[in-house]
Amino acid sequence: MKFIKSGQMMITVKGTSLLKVTAGFIGFLLFIFLISGLLTVLKPEYRPASSSVHSAATNITGDMLYHLIGWENHYFLRGLPESSPAPEPAQYLFKLSTNVNLDDPRSLLGRELPAFSLFDTQILVAGEGTDYTNMPIESAPPLEVLQAEKEAALQNTEEIDGQARQDADVPPNTTGDRKVVYVYFTHNRESFLPHLKGVTDPNMAFHSQLNVTNIGDKLKEELEKRGVGTVVDKTDVQANLTNKGLNYAQSYQESRAVVEAAVTENRDLNYLIDIHRDSRRKKDTTKEMNGKSYAKLAFIVGGEHANYEKNLTFANELQEMLDQKYIGLSRGVFTKKGAGTNGKFNQDLSEKAILVEFGGVDNTFEELYNSAEVLADVISEYYWQAEKVDGEGPVNES
């Protein structure tokens, strides 16, 4: 025990108390480092995540930091454009503490209603008639569908089998032997009710033989007519999940290995297209143009990876080209991130990777093929424009 005299006041300091406080503080620091170390070594799928913290971090922009520093040093404010809005700390703190975004009424219900996170998709570019009531959604098939040994009989297949391939004119530009587009299917058994005999429940629209992979065949055909070498990978991802005892939510984990192997083997595969179909009904997924019926398209961009901005630019440019040539065919560009979704969709593997929703459960293959032709048109136009800008001349076959 020490006695310290200061003026007329005597202070008593117990050495054992000081040692206890010091030891406790050191122990607390060691505990924090231990917990941090354990969280770091865990596999990503087992790490606890806070969507609130994640949301807060992703909303802190460079402009916001400049404003905050500028309140103390006004010199920093000169580097901001006049149109840059000042941050609103009260609203930001309210959102951070309550998870309620006053600009998005969905956040009032999102944590209270089961499965409401399915509607957390963000609209980046709204196509004709698109709003938060008709955004693309995907519903997992019932377990009995995934494990079923017997499937529905097929019907109305004439429009699929009857489209005989005709010899096309040699395109003015071609990639030659190079394959640059890679088409694959994470949810490869997504199918369409008009072709499944006796099936009317949208949740049952799955089939191992007639499904979105047929769209890939048509897309490849149309791209190669335009000189763009294409690979279609029909790996049965859903069968792999069943064989490995994995659940439907792990589909992207399974398809990732397939895509990684493909891009490692062929470095020319820079355009990665994952084809899906939406769970929406026909009124939201169909467009009539010039006497023909089309399945609407929607572009999904994962928002949680380093290539997000470049993938988004790619999707936005395709959207713009569709709006110029085929008004109303695209439902828009959407991003998914946060809790309850994959957030990557394998799009971190390329700077030009997109997920495309082709129509919905009620669309026919005539409509889907019409849209595949349109998408091939804009992708090939985008590709040849990009090649011209990059200075890599096409191979002339003529």
Of the chain, the percentage scoring pLDDT greater than 90 comes to: 41
Q: Are 142 and 248 in contact (CB under 8 A)?
A: no
pLDDT band at 194 (very low <50, low <70, confident <90, very high): very high
What pLDDT is stored for residue 119 in this prediction?
Answer: 55
Q: Which residue type does 66 have?
A: Y
The residue assigned the tokens 């055909």 is 221
**Is 319 or 29 the better-scoring residue by pLDDT?**
319
Lowest mean pLDDT among 13-17, 109-113, 119-123, 340-344: 109-113
**Is 354 or 304 the better-scoring residue by pLDDT?**
354
223, 228, 229, 233: CA torsion to nearest 10: -40
| Residue 4 scores a pLDDT above 60 | no
CA distance 324 to 238: 37
Mean pLDDT, range 287-315, rounded to an integer = 91
What pLDDT is stored for residue 398 in this prediction?
Answer: 43
pTM over the 0.75 mark: no
**Is 388 or 345 the better-scoring residue by pLDDT?**
345
Q: Are 302 and 311 in contact (CB under 8 A)?
A: yes
Specify the 3-state DSSP secondary structure of 338.
coil
Q: What confidence tens digit (pLDDT) does each residue in 170-191 have?
A: 788 889 999 999 999 999 999 9
| Residue 360 scores a pLDDT above 80 | yes
pLDDT band at 162 (very low <50, low <70, confident <90, very high): very low
Q: Which long-range contacts (CB under 8 A, 24 or more apart) does 368-371 make?
A: 368/192, 368/214, 368/215, 368/218, 368/295, 369/159, 369/163, 369/215, 369/218, 370/292, 370/293, 370/294, 370/295, 371/294, 371/295, 371/296, 371/297, 371/329
CA distance 364 to 156: 9
Q: How many CB atoms lie within 10 A of CB 348?
A: 17
Mean pLDDT, range 49-76, rounded to an integer = 62
CA distance 62 to 335: 21
**CA angle, 177 as apex, 176 and 183 as ends, to 5°?**
105
What pLDDT is stored for residue 17 in this prediction?
Answer: 72
Mean pLDDT, range 113-136, rounded to an integer = 67
| Residue 45 scores a pLDDT above 60 | no
